[in-house]
């Protein structure tokens, strides 16, 4: 004789529940891994931003130093050649005055 096996709904529910628990654990592991990856990406982005800000600050400092050097050089040249400096300033002022006056007249008066 063959033994009789009976599938009880309780056994099927236990297997089904165990599968669900295993699936939930697997999904939790995947979500945890994704969270770690996103955390790493965010940390890298912050580090990149800090590095870029430091480079920008250094660049601005160099620019300020260069402007100071340019100013010092211009002051030295003005002291060495005052008439040439005065002539250049008058010439630049005249050119700018004519250009601003020409632009200020408007398109109707240019015709």
Model confidence pLDDT, tens digit, residues 40-68 = 999 999 999 999 999 999 999 999 999 99
Q: Is the pLDDT of residue 3 over 90?
A: no
Is residue 78 within 8 A of residue 85, CB to CB? The reply is yes
Residue range(s) defining the domain that contains residue 99: 82-111
Residue 67 lies in a domain: no
Which one has a higher pLDDT value, 15 or 95?
95
For residue 107, being part of any structural domain is answered with yes
pLDDT score of 18? 82
Number of domains observed in the structure of the chain: 1
Q: Is 54 left (phi over 0), alpha (psi -120 to 50) or beta?
A: alpha
| pTM over cut 0.75 | no
């Amino acid at each position: 004789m063959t033994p009789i096996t009976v599938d009880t709904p309780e056994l099927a529910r236990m297997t089904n529940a165990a599968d669900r628990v295993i699936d939930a654990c697997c999904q939790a592991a995947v979500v945890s891994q994704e969270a770690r990856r996103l955390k790493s990406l965010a940390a890298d982005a912050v580090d990149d931003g800090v590095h870029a800000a430091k480079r920008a600050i250094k660049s601005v400092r160099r620019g300020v130093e260069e402007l100071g050097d340019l100013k010092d050089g211009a002051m030295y040249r003005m002291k060495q050649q005052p008439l040439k400096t005065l002539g250049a300033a008058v010439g630049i002022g005249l050119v700018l005055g004519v250009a601003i006056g020409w632009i200020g007249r408007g398109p109707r008066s240019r015709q």
